[in-house]
């Protein structure tokens, strides 16, 4: 009798999995007409360069062959998202020249946080365009573009503007939170930062809710990566105590905080699905992808994952990528390595293009997402 029960349960489970998988396998691609992105330097395609000092070479050298406003030698994950959805690369909202917003806009800026910080960008590199400001910018962008679209007298005037009814059909992407942790490490104890996490995550949820109320329905939300693996966190650390680093050389406590942040974020996303009944909200485990790459970089054909490609770092002397400084009376340039396509880390904080592509290849297919759907079908609610 017990074996029959197990067989029936197994049959029901198989039937459920088959039925639940029909939408994923049988549904057509969503055909997103546009992407609206919110985030920090991990997805900034030119915002901070437009607002402040432009990012100089050798940034951009591997793909664009010139500085492109991106903190990498080439494309970011958001660029691979655009490619996957067969859309153009996103123009930064803050970039007034050479922009085309027909298929979306990018509100991300390097140094952005979810929670507004009382600092200037000249102190610690924290952007004044926190997530709440990015949402305000989106509201302005939407209202103004709809107004201009209606005023346009011919198709050519509308060619670089979003179609008003497509705002509800667009994909809304988020990649932000890493800088909230870095600010917390600098200004708080771990207990204080942990206590602040619910408020930080609720502010992200508030942004999602606002976009939903504006008609947005499909959301693709990245969690935060293994911040303890960023080389910048190891530049000036010597004689570290036992247990400070994990088996791959990452700062253990910092990664544990990122994991806790991601746990709370995932739980909040689950609640959002219940609160926003018409929304399709996908939680994407970028942490797992990035840490997975770092843990097996050499087996994947990469160099030492904690070694930077661009910049100069010897002992306690560090020169940032693309900058010059004197070392022992001599001018030294923080240039690029010879083979950036073999590197995981570009400049100590940001990933190289090859690593971004590796991560994109393992996240856009849905294998690290909740629910496990590819980005091309992220418009379907599960």
Domain chopping of the chain, boundaries: 33-301+355-377
Give the Cα separation of 286 and 281 in Å (integer).
15
pLDDT band at 26; cut points 50, 70, 90: low
Global pTM value:
0.92
DSSP 321-342: TT-EEEETTEEEE----S-GGG
Q: Which stretch of 1-10, 253-262, 340-349 has the lowest confidence by average pLDDT? A: 1-10
Tell me, what's the pLDDT at 328?
A: 87
Catalytic residue (one of 40, 41, 246, 369): 41
Nearest to 116 by CA among 104, 103, 102, 132: 132
Nearest to 37 by CA among 71, 66, 5, 79: 79
pLDDT digits (tens, 9 = 90+) for 158-212: 999 999 999 999 999 999 999 999 999 999 999 999 999 999 999 999 999 999 9
Tell me, what's the pLDDT at 237?
A: 78
Question: What is the pLDDT averaged over residues 276-303?
Answer: 98
Tell me, what's the pLDDT at 5?
A: 42
Q: Are the C-beta atoms of residues 78 and 171 closer than 8 Å to each other?
A: no
For the domain made up of 33-301+355-377, the CATH class stated in words is alpha beta
Catalytic residue (one of 43, 71, 347, 369): 347
What is the share, in percent, of the chain residues with pLDDT greater than 90? Answer: 86
Catalytic residue (one of 103, 313, 318, 350): 350
Tell me, what's the pLDDT at 44?
A: 98
**pLDDT above 90 (res 25):** no
Mark whether 347 is an active-site residue.
yes
Q: Which residues contact 349 (CB under 8 A, 6 or more apart)?
A: 41, 71, 230, 231, 232
Nearest to 183 by CA among 255, 256, 115, 251: 115
Tell me, what's the pLDDT at 382?
A: 76
Q: What is the mean pLDDT of the chain?
A: 92
Long-range contacts of 290-295 (CB under 8 A, 24+ apart): 290/225, 290/226, 290/229, 290/351, 290/355, 290/359, 291/225, 291/226, 291/229, 291/250, 291/255, 292/362, 293/344, 293/355, 293/358, 293/359, 294/226, 294/229, 294/248, 294/250, 294/344, 295/248
Tell me, what's the pLDDT at 7?
A: 40
Question: What is the pLDDT averaged over residues 35-63?
Answer: 97
Mark whether 41 is an active-site residue.
yes
pLDDT digits (tens, 9 = 90+) for 258-272: 999 999 999 999 999
pLDDT digits (tens, 9 = 90+) for 81-92: 999 999 999 999
């Amino acid at each position: 009798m017990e074996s029959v029960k197990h067989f029936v349960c197994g049959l029901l489970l198989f039937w459920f999995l088959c039925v639940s998988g029909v939408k994923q396998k049988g549904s057509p691609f969503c055909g997103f007409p546009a992407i609206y992105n919110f985030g920090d330097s991990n997805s900034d395609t030119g915002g901070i360069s437009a607002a402040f000092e432009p990012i100089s070479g050798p940034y951009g050298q591997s793909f664009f062959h010139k500085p492109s406003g991106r903190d990498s030698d080439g494309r970011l994950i958001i660029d691979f998202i655009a490619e996957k959805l067969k859309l153009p690369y996103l123009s930064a909202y803050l970039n007034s020249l050479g922009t085309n917003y027909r298929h979306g806009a990018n509100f991300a800026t390097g140094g952005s946080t979810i929670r507004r910080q009382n600092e200037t960008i000249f102190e610690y590199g924290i952007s004044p365009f926190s997530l709440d400001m990015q949402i305000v910018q989106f509201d302005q962008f939407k209202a103004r573009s709809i107004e201009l679209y209606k005023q346009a007298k011919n198709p050519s005037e509308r060619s670089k503007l979003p179609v008003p009814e497509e705002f509800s059909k667009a994909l809304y992407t988020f990649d932000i939170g890493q800088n909230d942790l870095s600010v917390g490490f600098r200004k708080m104890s771990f207990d204080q930062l942990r206590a602040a996490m619910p408020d930080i995550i609720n502010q992200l949820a508030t942004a999602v809710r606002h976009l939903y109320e504006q008609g947005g329905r499909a959301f693709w939300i990245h969690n935060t990566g293994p911040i303890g693996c960023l080389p910048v966190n190891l530049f000036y650390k010597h004689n570290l105590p036992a247990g400070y680093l994990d088996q791959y050389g990452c700062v253990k406590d910092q990664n544990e905080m990122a994991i806790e942040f991601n746990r709370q974020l995932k739980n909040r996303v689950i609640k959002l699905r219940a609160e926003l009944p018409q929304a399709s909200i996908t939680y994407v485990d970028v942490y797992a992808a990035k840490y997975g790459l770092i843990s097996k970089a050499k087996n994947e054909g990469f160099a030492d994952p904690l070694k930077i490609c661009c910049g100069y770092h010897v002992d306690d002397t560090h020169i940032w990528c693309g900058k010059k400084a004197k070392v022992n009376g001599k001018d030294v340039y923080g240039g690029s390595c010879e083979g950036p396509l073999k590197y995981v880390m570009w400049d100590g904080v940001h990933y190289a293009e090859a690593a971004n592509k590796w991560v994109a290849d393992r996240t856009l297919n849905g294998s690290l997402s909740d629910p496990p759907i590819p980005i091309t079908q992220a418009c379907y609610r599960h």
